Amino acid sequence: PQLVASNDRFCRFLEEYCPVVTETYYPTIWCWEGRVQTLLRPFITSRPQVQYRNELIKTADGGQISLDWFDNNDSLYYPDASTRPTVLLLPGLTGTSKESYILHMIHQSETLGYRCVVFNNRGIAGEDLLTPRTYCAANTEDLEAVIHHVHSLHPSAPFMAAGVSMGGMLLLNYLGKTGRDTPLMAAAIFSAGWNVFESVESLEKPLNWLLFNYYLTTCLQSSISRHRQMLEKLFDMDLVMKARTVREFDKQFTSVMFGYRTIDDYYEDASPCRKLKSVGIPVLCLNSVDDVFSPGHAIPVETAKQNANVALVLTSCGGHIGFLEGIWPRKCTYMDRVFKQFVQAMFEHGNKIFSM
């Protein structure tokens, strides 16, 4: 992979404590193409068994958020729950704590002795919508509430976050807003869409629309159809359910819900590339340049070079949340290995970044 970072100390830290970012990534030879990796990963990769403890927390506007905790009370390395390192996980656009990539991150964290908590966006993890509001990539209020809540429960525990796809976009937008004023010590971002205009344009190309866009739109519609009675108070749901692209859905629903004058205003606000320069804690971002959800030309390489807290790891293959490797890639992906090494590096050696 290509490692992009302006800070020599951050580079040396990664090379020593997260060496996977300097290893050659060999994609699974029979499904190396990005779209194939993206399509096959959910079906090929295993689903580790995880027992969650669910918690519903109330929000300032009267809504509720579902958190799924993996407490790891059997942790040998960190038996004291008050100081057990905690990783907050943010799934993708319509993802929940049941996604295979989230389960693998928890499995990796379990072996290291860490605790995990999954932030499920409003209304998609089986809980009821108490107000006519869901979520979007630009609005960080719910994430701020969750981070404050988790930190207040375990104020002495080292605290990190990892976001995947839209979860990564949301996390980056939060970090760009808060700078250093966050209880998080570091963050890992996987397959984020950096520029939403470029992402939707890529997804509207004929083959990509057929393979991804239409299906993703139906997933979005399905995620809100259960709450139709609540949402009909504010939206023309018949019109929303007629959307055939993500852009149409966002125009009729998401941008309206969050008070944007136009969909372009929403997409501009949702694009993390515009906030990357303000990130104030160490962040590692993994992208593949053949990701149709986040095309390579839209990855903000030059902006990343202007922020000493940011490191980009760019592979030529891997697709969107793919990164399959080995002949039969059932278990660990390259993305899983980057996640495991980086969180371990930060929790156990993070204080050395500034002394190297």
Tokens of 262: 């136009």
Cα 190 to its chain centre, rounded Å, is 6
Catalytic residue among 68, 142, 290, 291: 291
- What is the per-residue burial (b if ≥16 Cβ within 10 Å, else e) of 116-144? bbbbbbbbbbeeebbbebbbbbbbbebbe
Query: Is 291 assigned a catalytic role?
Result: yes
Q: Name the phi and psi angles at 116, rounded to 5.
A: -125, 150
Q: Name the phi and psi angles at 321, rounded to 5.
A: 55, 35
Tokens of 160: 């990190």
Catalytic residue among 66, 75, 165, 294: 165
Give yes or no for a contact between 47 and 38, defined as CB atoms under 8 angstroms apart: no
- For residue 188, which of 20, 34, 56, 303 has the smallest C-alpha distance? 20
Q: Name the phi and psi angles at 347, rounded to 5.
A: -65, -35
**Strand ranges inside 289-331, DSSP E:** 310-315
Query: Is 165 assigned a catalytic role?
Result: yes
Residues with Cβ within 8 Å of 290's Cβ and at least 6 positions away in sequence, in order, are 33, 34, 296, 316, 317, 318, 319
**Cβ neighbours around 5 below 10 Å, total:** 23
Burial of 85 (0-12, 13-18, 19+ CB in 10 A): buried
Catalytic residue among 104, 107, 154, 320: 320
For the chain, what's the residue count? 356
Rounded to 10 deg, the angle between the 100-112 and 34-44 helix axes is 70
Beta strand 64-70 pairing with 115-120: antiparallel
Catalytic residues: 165, 291, 320
